Structure 1
């Protein structure tokens, strides 16, 4: 499966060549990801038409011809509407547009040429079929002058992208392969985009660690509910498919404030084969308005990589908000880190686990944050603090930490792990290796002290530290210099002195063999010999 994913990923990424010279990755990712998604929807519908009309092994072109011939058949249309939550007219399919590009479509005896409006109409066709597709292609600006200075040049650029993807098979493959390839694309764009990528992508290794931390000693044989209140492209949520007991029975909830990123998450879910009934995604401000309603669901796992030290309103009215009211104070306006944490905690089941990535400041800052931290520790909710290496993320180089939280703990101990030196150095970003992740998970499960790596701190110890959770207070990573062996030093000095004397004696003997007819030179040479001999005494 890895080879298939790699092949598909490579083919998809190479299709970006037509756009790379015209704009940066932050812009052209919208075009490529949107067009890949459009092709998936189109090809999936056509293949299904082929199956319905008796040719399950049909090519896309054969299926298109069948669809065109039977497009007026009401039974066929009813079946397609019952099966898919979208519809596409024959002339709006990807296959039809490729025929236009290849000059294989004629109207009134004339060859029809591909125009930008043809793809725009295809997008509108899909978007108009249901609220879940509304505005999905808004970020694909087909009339941007970045694509070309004239309509024809714009059409030529888009034609190149469509053609590059035309032979890529993205339907007759497993959803995992396609989803992983799409995830690869998102990751590549994040890598090229750099700091701008923070809003939509959490590196896969960190996503894996967060997901697996929430599943330690938790089992959900009947399925589970998961929630990411700052979901970005949805990659963190989708990791549960790989590690949950029943991947097909996962119910996903996610919220994202950025509309473009929200649309990306919707596409990502569909391409990973997540059933429409199992995904509940919302475009909105997580802190400003609580969602989902508490009576609707509480979650087995909550995972989050929110924007760090985000500015929020901290309006006094939030003191009446049940997410924050029991703590008596609000996180400061300039740092919403604990606001995100408390939001996620509020939606966590008593039997669930939450894992959130935050800057180290949440471990020791005072004021209202200190009061919230103490309240969490008094209640035994903070289960672990894990220090991560610096430069793991695309949008910041600062070291971060993971807080693991539970509501059903029987003690108030906190497991501290310092994994800050456990990474593989990369060209632009550091990476957690699988062995680093496994080590963290193993020590977290065992809850045992490991010299210079981990410490299980009792509540009294934390109390004595005034509820400061700064990791170096609990895990001493200092490696002392080895003690100096003075006897060995003395012996080495004597040996060195003996070697100096030996070399100096040899030098004197060599100088004695030198002669000259010049009395001045001989006087000088004898003075040197005399000086060296005195030093040897």
Structure 2
């Protein structure tokens, strides 16, 4: 029996492929080259195996083979295959050859691969160095990937490739520190969000700051057979490309992932209005500075964001401060929520209590009975930041007016790591169960009435509602007095002994 290509083997080969670049280029840049090559190798190996199968099935009848191949997921010209690039690996213009292959792939698959590779240049002197160094790097990269057999018959389970892609993105996020948080949400945090919003069959699922798509995939995986419609938007071109490839490698061919600034230029529209979704999730950039610059036009210097500048009316409840875009994303998401919609968003704790315009927006959201729960998370869960975050859960048409507060930040509710803490399965289960039961649990959760929240002037700071103070055992004063007495006696003995020694020494 043929030996299968295992998950570990793929992961190891991919990580070794990174050695080609380490020390020469920052990992936040070279990740794109490694991940594009993985995607190309997978497409190429799959296409090649299917071609061989059809040649055998149709006994070499080229017309019938061509017709069958035209129905493949992706059309791949011979000059776009990994094998062709391998034969050209020693050519002096190998970077240009790879670029042409990617451009041809896009051209032949406009419905799926349009703009997927436009943000990556395998012939860039600025990124990959002068010709000799660049060619050496690209040759080594191609040779590393030649060791991998990614044909479906060798890989077996489709998810293995997607899992490897995800593994690499997570490793890069860890490597990239603060920048890592821009394109990847730790998998167990994504899992928690996915379980909180409970997607159902045929739901539209949307992430307005989708990064590399890991959160969307986690939410889709909650539904058997992923029978949902996936929508996302990402403003970073390279991250948008990663997201598209991530979807394809997870067998999701119909995701609608747009490229652009969601706040100033939302691209998921119905008849010129914001499209509505049953499920909305996001881990937007924390407190994004200059979030409204896309509205500025040419008058950049004296620009002041006003609600009237947004054609979709998202900021009528208040305009978030220019240096903190947290509520800009929340308001966009709420305006994108369908009537039976559920929404969960990861945010810094400041959104719970900051005043001024953020306080006014918070009050409006609560008065409109949209906030369902506030969940405090442990510190250091996210790449590049030690600060603890929270999850705000929103619902349209709620059948209650209370708000549930959960403090899951205490010891025992997570696993401590050297650089980063982790949520375990049991921690997620505890949060989800408490949310589903919507109950007060001593030192963990509290169901606050709307009156209590109003009395607190709409301040949602979790310690105001969940008392996690642990009382210390009462002190036995008789025991303390006895201890003091014994210590004093001990000191007297030592002092007497010291006096003897000093006398002997003549002092």
Q: TM-score range by the shorter chain?
A: 0.7 to 0.9
In structure 2, what is the Cα distance between the partners aligned to 1:308 and 1:499? 58
Is contact 1:309–1:337 with CA below 8 Å preserved after alignment? yes
1:478 to 460, 469, 482: 469
Paired residue secondary structure (2:70): helix
- The answer for the alignment partner of 2:10 in structure 1 is 8
Is contact 2:94–2:138 with CA below 8 Å preserved after alignment? no
1:491 to 477, 482, 499: 482
2:150 to 170, 182, 185: 170
Larger mean CA deviation between 367-376 and 263-272 belongs to 367-376
Is contact 1:23–1:146 with CA below 8 Å preserved after alignment? no
1:211 has 2:190 as partner: no
1:403 has 2:379 as partner: no
Is contact 2:443–2:468 with CA below 8 Å preserved after alignment? yes
1:335-377, Cα deviation, whole Å (9 max, x unpaired): 2211211211122222221000111121112222222211221
1:118 has 2:94 as partner: no
Compute the TM-score of the two structures, normalised by the length of structure 2. 0.86
Is contact 1:394–1:429 with CA below 8 Å preserved after alignment? yes
In structure 1, what is the Cα distance between the partners aligned to 2:505 and 2:380? 67
1:129 has 2:131 as partner: no
In structure 2, what is the Cα distance between the partners aligned to 1:393 and 1:149? 32
1:525–1:312 Cα change, 3 Å: closer
- The answer for the alignment partner of 2:212 in structure 1 is 233
1:245-270, Cα deviation, whole Å (9 max, x unpaired): x2331210001111111111000000
> How far is 1:398 from its partner?
2.1
In structure 2, what is the Cα distance between the partners aligned to 1:351 and 1:308? 27
In structure 2, what is the Cα distance between the partners aligned to 1:267 and 1:250? 18
- The answer for the alignment partner of 2:82 in structure 1 is 94
> How far is 1:14 from its partner?
1.5
Q: Counterparts of 1:289-328 in structure 2 under 5 Å? A: 289-294=265-270, 298-310=276-288, 311-313=290-292, 314-318=305-309, 321-325=312-316, 327=317
Q: CA RMSD in A?
A: 3.0
2:185 to 202, 210, 216: 202
| Gap regions ≥5 residues in structure 2 | 293-304
> How far is 1:129 from its partner?
1.5
Is contact 1:210–1:355 with CA below 8 Å preserved after alignment? yes
Larger mean CA deviation between 397-406 and 366-375 belongs to 366-375
1:386 has 2:365 as partner: no
Is contact 1:424–1:431 with CA below 8 Å preserved after alignment? yes
1:198-218, Cα deviation, whole Å (9 max, x unpaired): 321111121111111111xx6
Is contact 1:5–1:177 with CA below 8 Å preserved after alignment? yes
1:289-344, Cα deviation, whole Å (9 max, x unpaired): 3342246853221100111222233333246634344x3x3223222211211211
1:117-143, Cα deviation, whole Å (9 max, x unpaired): 332322122021233323322343222
- The answer for the alignment partner of 2:425 in structure 1 is 434
Paired residue secondary structure (1:53): helix
> How far is 1:491 from its partner?
2.6
> How far is 1:27 from its partner?
1.5
In structure 1, what is the Cα distance between the partners aligned to 2:490 and 2:95? 86
- The answer for the alignment partner of 1:454 in structure 2 is 445
> How far is 1:177 from its partner?
1.5
1:140 has 2:131 as partner: no
- The answer for the alignment partner of 1:445 in structure 2 is 436
Larger mean CA deviation between 75-84 and 235-244 belongs to 75-84
Is contact 1:223–1:247 with CA below 8 Å preserved after alignment? no
For the pair shown, the structure with the greater C-alpha radius of gyration is: 1
> How far is 1:501 from its partner?
7.1
- The answer for the alignment partner of 1:192 in structure 2 is 175
Is contact 1:414–1:459 with CA below 8 Å preserved after alignment? yes
- The answer for the alignment partner of 1:106 in structure 2 is none
Paired residue secondary structure (1:83): coil
Paired residue secondary structure (1:394): coil
1:446–1:118 Cα change, 3 Å: same
Paired residue secondary structure (1:210): helix
Is contact 1:378–1:412 with CA below 8 Å preserved after alignment? no
- The answer for the alignment partner of 2:457 in structure 1 is 466
2:325 to 319, 331, 336: 336
1:323–1:526 Cα change, 3 Å: closer
Is contact 1:120–1:142 with CA below 8 Å preserved after alignment? yes
1:486–1:40 Cα change, 3 Å: same
- The answer for the alignment partner of 1:531 in structure 2 is none
- The answer for the alignment partner of 2:299 in structure 1 is none
Is contact 2:25–2:128 with CA below 8 Å preserved after alignment? no
- The answer for the alignment partner of 2:295 in structure 1 is none
> How far is 1:100 from its partner?
4.3
1:55–1:527 Cα change, 3 Å: same
**Number of residue equivalences:** 482
1:271 to 229, 232, 249: 249
1:455–1:4 Cα change, 3 Å: farther
> How far is 1:498 from its partner?
5.7
In structure 1, what is the Cα distance between the partners aligned to 2:150 and 2:478? 72
Is contact 2:77–2:105 with CA below 8 Å preserved after alignment? no
Is contact 2:346–2:391 with CA below 8 Å preserved after alignment? yes
- The answer for the alignment partner of 1:532 in structure 2 is none
1:90–1:430 Cα change, 3 Å: same
| Gap regions ≥5 residues in structure 1 | 57-65, 104-111, 515-520, 529-537
